[in-house]
């Protein structure tokens, strides 16, 4: 409700100030919802990370998950609060697992995560948002972007692991983060 309230207030003030037209109010309202929810969620995730002294790990999770999420889409929960709780829980789970994986099996875990995510993207990306379905041109654009981002992550993560093995835990977290995003693409989440 907090996010909706802020978005409605700002879009109404923009309309009152003749910055936007009445026809565009819903578009701006939706855009503001996305911006405000992203800021609130990001701040909340960083506060949790600060409490657990895991800021670097959280930034890796947010960056990896977020960059792929923006382009590949995925399952959406019905409230911002539920989304925040689930994302927070999975962020902490990815960080915890990433820190627990022994160096001896880290490359195998990373390769499995990357392979599974690549498969999910090849099969299902992008998944559009029910509030804003993709047209044919947008679908193709976001599909190509999702694949490029996946290739970028795969190459970067593998190179970092070979060049600086002491960073493997961060690469495990990045791999788990994009796997989490890949799981949200699966059709099992459709209602």
190 pLDDT exceeds 80? Answer: no
**59 and 94 within one domain:** yes
Listed in sequence order, the residues at least 6 apart from 186 whose beta carbon sits closer than 8 Å to its beta carbon are: 75, 120, 124
**Residues 71 and 145 grouped into a single domain:** yes
Which tops the pLDDT comparison, 147 or 26? 147
Question: Number of C-alpha atoms within 13 angstroms, CB side, residue 188?
Answer: 5
Q: What's the number of domains the chain is made of?
A: 2
**Domain check: are 143 and 74 in the same one?**
yes
pLDDT of residue 126: 94
Residues 172 and 95 in one domain: yes
What share of the chain has pLDDT > 70, as a percent?
98
Tell me the pLDDT tens digit for each residue of 15-42.
888 888 888 888 888 888 888 888 999 9
Q: Which two structure tokens, joined as six digits, stand for 159?
A: 């190179």
Do 106 and 152 belong to one domain?
yes
| CA–CA distance, 4 with 29 (Å, rounded to integer) | 8
51, 76, 92 — which closes off a domain? 51
Examine the domain organization and report whether 33 and 64 are in the same domain: no
117 φ, ψ (degrees, to nearest 5) = -65, -45
pTM (2 decimals)?
0.87
pLDDT at 128 over 70: yes
Residue with tokens 């990373």: 110
Dist. CA 19–CA 17, nearest whole Å: 5
Q: Are residues 36 and 17 in the same domain?
A: yes
**90 lies in which domain range?**
54-189
| Residues paired with 150 in a beta bridge | none
Closest CA to 134 of 149, 120, 145, 150: 145
**Cα within 13 Å of Cα(83), Cβ side:** 16
Determine phi and psi for 53, rounding to 5 degrees. 55, 45
Query: What's the pLDDT at 129?
Result: 77
Domain end, chosen from 36, 51, 66, is at: 51
Indicate whether 88 pLDDT > 90: yes
Kindly state whether residues 73 and 99 are assigned to the same domain. yes
Within this chain, do residues 59 and 14 fall inside the same structural domain, yes or no?
no
- Give residues with Cβ within 8 angstroms of 177, minimum separation 6: 60, 61, 64, 65, 91, 94
Stretch 92-115: mean pLDDT: 95
Query: 100 and 171: one domain?
Result: yes
Query: 125-136 in b/e burial notation, b at 16+ Cβ within 10 A?
Result: bbbeeeeeebee
Return the structure tokens found at 87: 């994302």
Residues 147 and 171 in one domain: yes
Distance CA 107, CA 162 (A): 9
- Asked whether residue 155 falls in the same domain as residue 65, the answer is yes
């Amino acid at each position: 409700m907090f996010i909706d309230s802020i978005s409605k207030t700002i879009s109404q003030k923009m309309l009152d100030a003749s910055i936007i037209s009445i026809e565009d109010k819903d578009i701006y309202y939706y855009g503001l919802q996305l911006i405000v929810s992203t800021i609130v969620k990001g701040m909340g995730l960083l506060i949790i990370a600060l409490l657990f002294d895991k800021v670097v790990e959280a930034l890796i999770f947010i960056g990896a998950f977020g960059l792929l999420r923006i382009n590949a889409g995925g399952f959406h929960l019905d409230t911002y609060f539920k989304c925040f709780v689930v994302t927070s829980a999975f962020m902490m789970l990815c960080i915890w697992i990433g820190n627990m994986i022994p160096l001896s099996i880290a490359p195998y875990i990373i390769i499995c995560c990357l392979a599974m995510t690549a498969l999910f993207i090849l099969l299902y990306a992008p998944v559009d948002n029910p509030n804003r379905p993709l047209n044919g041109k947008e679908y193709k654009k976001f599909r190509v972007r999702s694949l490029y981002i996946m290739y970028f992550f795969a190459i970067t993560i593998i190179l970092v692991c070979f060049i600086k093995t002491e960073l493997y835990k961060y690469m495990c977290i990045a791999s788990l983060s994009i796997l989490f995003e890949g799981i949200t693409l699966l059709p099992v989440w459709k209602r």
